[in-house]
Amino acid sequence: MTANQNQPETSGAPEQVMHVNPRIEKDRQMILDAEKKGTGARFKVFLKLSGPGWLQSGITLGGGSLSSSLYLGVLVGFSFMWLQPLAMVFGVIMLSAIAYVTLSTGERPLRGINEHVSPVLGWGWLIASMMANLVWSLPQFALGTAALRQNLLPGLIGPDSGMGEIQGKMIAGGAFLAICLAVTMTYSAGGKGVKIFEIMIKTIVSIIVLSFLGVVVKLSIEGEIIWGEILSGLIPDLSLFNKPTDIIMPHIEKVAENFRPFWTNMLVGQQRDVMISAAATAVGINMTFLLPYSMLRKGWDKHFRGLAIFDLSTGLFIPFILATGCVVIASSSQFHGVPAQGLVADEPGGEITAEPAANLVGSYNNLLVERALMELRLEDETYKNVTVDTYKTLPTAMQAPVASKIKALPWADKRMAAMLVKRDAFNLADTLAPLTGPVIAQYLFGFGVIGMAMSAATMLMTINGLCFCELLGRPPKGWIQKFGTLMVSVGALGPFFWKEAAPYLAIPTSVFAMVLLPIAYFAFFLLMNQKTFMGNNMPTGGKRILWNVLMALASGAAAFGSVWSLWSKLRWLGIVLLITFIALCVVVHFARKKPQTA
């Protein structure tokens, strides 16, 4: 522990993040006393002192996790129940490594990375974290506003109120923003405010888990869930990276043979994106920034390393697995291999007897246009470069053949389109209503949804406040921290700029996060092995080998996801950008002035 690690905050730009915990000496003594008494006493103390791990849970259980879990269930059913737990295991490994590095040295991580690894990596980590905060704020506010208007208060500010959509969104968004700001400012206050903030986040996370757990329990009682299939989904089936599930394949086989690849390729592409998204939303790059600074702010040092790992395991891993698992189960039981109601008849030549959900019609029509264009491209070169987006700008004479093709599409193609529409959490709530009753479907589920959005939005504000202070080299307090917090309020514009399903905003954001995540992982991987930074705290012997093997697995998985995302979105341009960034890091690392050994 460095000499000034646990001193009060000052106005300068300190080497360490000064803590705001007046109980730090008492907390440290509680841990030391508990270690002498044994496992039971240590467990009780750890449970009492936990905090930063729950903050991690607050940020990861947001719109991204909800969206990814929902679409994972729609596309692959129970088959990927293993994916999110594995992603979180890797995440906890890296976060534990970050905790070990931070608590062993007491140093501000940004300074450590800049001086002992590479300034490119350090500043890239900070800037990427701030970018993630701002990007992620949009889906959280869109999701929270939609939950208030559609689930909890539809008769007051929602579709049933008679109030205009813009006015309803402004009221719901304003209320959501005010609550998030009020909660966040308690953290900025320091001292008891930090403890109050942690209790609030623990409460919200508990509500999220209990809400979704209640829905699954009710579905299980109603006989809608086959637990044997869920357990089989815990066994990895990597073939689904290249093919649809056995439940959906029979529906594809009903399509004319020359058009089956269209649906197969579309489905597999969506599966891959959602799989990457589900992995990315387990741990985001901004979480890697929050953890070390939240621990230093509490005054934790190397005596708290065991508590940090316990905190991550109980406060992050368990709530995440329960909440996301319940969403996947509920979504799979209702949507996987099932066409959305009101879009297509139950059998060829039949009548459509139900009204479709308004938010699904546009997505369904776009899929039909895409299918019709695919057929027209084979017949007419004129349509070679026409996409779904540009189709609407075509002259009427060119739109007419597309409309004719759509009208003539076989029932099997329309049924596939109805299966793949972008359903959201509110469609799931509507589908659950006949099975669970309106209270559980709308209110219990709605509380879970708004809890996710609120906890994530609040944590994004908190993280950005810490990031902004570090960007300016100032201690995390005062108006500088508050201004950084307020920057995330730009997310309140989210509900006004997207017309499709609000949770689906999180999918491209998740891919963005996956691209940035390896920046943080490799930075701390290298830092753990820097003798100049870790000094005598650097692991040796078998412990060092174990740490490096685990970190290599986690960092390798993150790098794979990053490369996959770059290739799928930007092709060679993405790979060139990645190689350029890595080369810049290496050049600066060897060109910089080497620090003295600690």
DSSP secondary structure of 567-597: HHHHTHHHHHHHHHHHHHHHHHHHHSPPPPP
State how far the Cα of 146 lies from the Cα of 449, in Å rounded to an integer. 9
Domain that holds residue 33: 17-49
Mark whether 117 and 73 lie in a shared domain.
yes
C-alpha distances (whole Å) from 518 to each of 111, 515, 526, 553, 555 are 19, 7, 12, 12, 6
Which residue shows structure tokens 């240590």? 42
Q: Which two tokens stand for residue 333?
A: 């039981």
State how far the Cα of 109 lies from the Cα of 583, in Å rounded to an integer. 22
Q: Which two tokens stand for residue 184?
A: 């966040």
Which residue shows structure tokens 């991550």? 312
State how far the Cα of 586 lies from the Cα of 120, in Å rounded to an integer. 9
Q: Which of 7, 25, 49 is the last residue of a domain?
A: 49
**In this structure, is residue 179 part of a structural domain?**
no
Mark whether 254 and 363 lie in a shared domain.
no
Residue 179 exposure: Cα atoms within 13 Å on the Cβ side? 20
Q: Which two tokens stand for residue 440?
A: 């559980």
Q: Which two tokens stand for residue 196?
A: 């109050």
Mark whether 213 and 98 lie in a shared domain.
yes
Position 15 scores a pLDDT of 47
Could you tell me which residues come within 8 angstroms of residue 527 by beta carbon, excluding any fewer than 6 positions away?
101, 109, 112, 113, 116, 117, 533, 534
**In this structure, is residue 568 part of a structural domain?**
yes
**In this structure, is residue 163 part of a structural domain?**
no
**In this structure, is residue 596 part of a structural domain?**
no
Mark whether 328 and 195 lie in a shared domain.
yes
State how far the Cα of 332 lies from the Cα of 69, in Å rounded to an integer. 10
**In this structure, is residue 410 part of a structural domain?**
yes
Position 424 scores a pLDDT of 83
Mark whether 298 and 204 lie in a shared domain.
yes
Helices 260-280, 83-105: inter-axial angle, 10-degree rounding: 30
Please give the chain's pLDDT, 598 residues, in tens. Answer: 343 444 444 433 344 555 666 788 899 999 999 999 988 999 999 999 988 899 999 999 888 788 888 888 989 999 999 999 999 999 999 999 999 999 999 888 998 888 888 888 888 889 888 988 988 888 899 889 988 998 888 888 987 788 888 899 999 999 999 999 999 999 887 778 888 898 999 999 999 898 889 889 988 998 888 899 999 999 998 888 899 999 999 999 999 999 999 999 999 988 887 787 777 668 888 899 999 998 988 889 999 999 999 999 999 999 999 999 999 999 999 999 999 999 999 898 888 888 999 889 999 999 999 999 999 988 888 888 888 888 888 898 899 999 999 999 999 999 999 999 988 888 888 888 887 887 788 888 888 889 999 999 999 999 999 999 999 988 888 889 999 999 999 888 878 775 443 445 545 555 566 667 787 888 889 889 988 888 899 999 999 999 999 999 999 988 888 888 778 777 887 788 888 888 888 888 788 766 665 5
Q: Give the three-class secondary structure for 55.
A: helix
Helices 165-189, 192-221: inter-axial angle, 10-degree rounding: 130
State how far the Cα of 316 lies from the Cα of 52, in Å rounded to an integer. 9
Mark whether 325 and 364 lie in a shared domain.
no
Mark whether 251 and 317 lie in a shared domain.
yes
Could you tell me which residues come within 8 angstroms of residue 349 by beta carbon, excluding any fewer than 6 positions away?
411
Could you tell me which residues come within 8 angstroms of residue 106 by beta carbon, excluding any fewer than 6 positions away?
1, 2, 5, 6, 16, 296, 301
C-alpha distances (whole Å) from 261 to each of 1, 215, 249, 387, 388 are 60, 37, 11, 18, 18
Mark whether 134 and 61 lie in a shared domain.
yes
Kindly report the length of the chain.
Answer: 598
Mark whether 326 and 378 lie in a shared domain.
no
Position 597 scores a pLDDT of 54
346 phi/psi in degrees, rounded to 5: -70, -20
Mark whether 36 and 59 lie in a shared domain.
no
Position 544 scores a pLDDT of 94
* Among 312, 333, 392, 361, residue whose Cα is nearest residue 93: 312
**In this structure, is residue 579 part of a structural domain?**
yes
State how far the Cα of 268 lies from the Cα of 252, in Å rounded to an integer. 12
**Residue 321: what residue type?**
I
Q: What total number of domains does the chain contain?
A: 3
Whether 467 and 130 have beta carbons less than 8 Å apart is answered as yes
Q: Which two tokens stand for residue 472?
A: 């300016």
Q: Which two tokens stand for residue 341?
A: 């109601």
State how far the Cα of 117 lies from the Cα of 252, in Å rounded to an integer. 51
* Among 202, 172, 226, residue whose Cα is nearest residue 57: 202
Mark whether 225 and 86 lie in a shared domain.
yes
Mark whether 331 and 363 lie in a shared domain.
no
Question: Angle at the Cα of 205 (from 211 to 271), degrees rounded to 5?
Answer: 75
Nearest 10 degrees: Cα torsion 448, 454, 455, 457? 140
Whether 155 and 161 have beta carbons less than 8 Å apart is answered as yes
